[in-house]
Structure 1
């Protein structure tokens, strides 16, 4: 009884360890959903990859879920990255974002957002596929080189304002007092699915990593609402969860206790001993009754080839051409005749099948005697 309990205990511990490892692996590798440019989303439109790269290069990235988080985290030496989403449109929200200290990087803004946060620029020509060379003296762009921006908006200065335009206006920058405002017409080069194209990753890191402290603001829900969603498990009382957990544990213990235990191997005598010759004759009669000359020939050829391979120094994966060449070299026969015998078409009559069997025996004898 003690030995049985020890065995069951180790089995139970192994099962618990396997379940724990599987649960942790599933959690770590599961994709994290989210909207466009969400710093936590690992989908093609998320920005988790860029945020991770910035942190690996020593940049402090703070993800802000509300405009209040931006106000508390922003400093004169920080950079606020504001990505346009469906939930960045409130007037008070834009006013507070405009008054936040530090530099500003504005990603694909709509007209209302652009007028509130970047009033010195206006919409340029119609949206088009942008990229290529920067054609400007902006250090972040010149270090990045050619990029593939995809479909992007372009911008032009308002009233001859001093604005640096790169990539035909898809990336613009100007100074507003002591604040640097940078606007990009698209975020495709910053999302997870676009970083690997051309110099996109370099441009994204150069723009977003211009400061050692970055506040990433891409609101994914209306102000004041929790980003989390309520699932079925959240609606269950805690007592029910514990009951389910104990029931699962009880079922696991019952399964371990009731499992069939493998003992030592027991040798048992066969009820009937069938001679090998009788098995061969029975199979041959079965093939003959069904006129399965193709199956019979294939069986004969396969058995012959399998016996020849060790003698020829070949493996089971050898090509038919290599087998034919080796047999012809060992037996001195014609390669065409050998190939036809070993890998040719099935015989048409029973007499042809008998002739094929004799030819296979001759080839095997010649190889064995050579």
Structure 2
């Protein structure tokens, strides 16, 4: 192996890397693919229990294809970025319908699947098929940006293209499965975003950022822009049987396709909530009981959520339909719910900590 970068990295991996992750066992393309999608924007320690539960419920691509979307979203609840779950099922159906249930061992065909980009396709090729393919996830970007002192934010096309060139340069022809795991492990375990353990890094001698005492400068930060602040009422409408009403959110956008609590315009005062519910849903309700509000941060804005509990005293409209369900709390918790809504329904006192 002529490339010193790859040689030193693999020597470190043999002694210190992660060799026993759940997706390393029975390493099928399906299992590798699911793990790679889960690992997008999510740490390994968080993913492991979700992956195990997901594999138990959806052991192969056929099972995922045939499952109700609510079931898939329920098993994803808490991982965030829920479009990943919907895209996962859409891609599974393409694999079944267009590729006979077998994942293609081809970069272009893998990238044609919904939710799979260049790096994820390469990870599947390397990890599942043992084919030489360069990856460039967040951990790898950080390692390469520091090692080569690549200036600028990796979200910029110029910077990203440079990092891809380095990724291609260092990816070896042999042990590519170990190499892709090794460089991800190094970024997560040693070359971390804050307080990197440079003294323990096998690439230290060739790292330009370390040599110049500029590790903290790489990779460059995304230009900061203040996140807008939004506010909403979330109402817990409870009927005389103790059931609450949930609404399915639109398929696209925040929490797309998940079940959540109905929302009302924040311009309403607490005293106006019963009338607002009557106008919006056709329900006669008691006065509102306010629950501790909390803020939930999305990638591009902060949402201030003020929950309120109202008892439905009379209605001609209490009935399930495609976008509304009346459920007892234990039934509601089996659906795909956003993490803060799940917390609100199970332990409202904890929402103040969100």
Normalized against structure 2, the TM-score is what? 0.20
| Higher alpha-carbon Rg | 1
Normalized against structure 1, the TM-score is what? 0.20
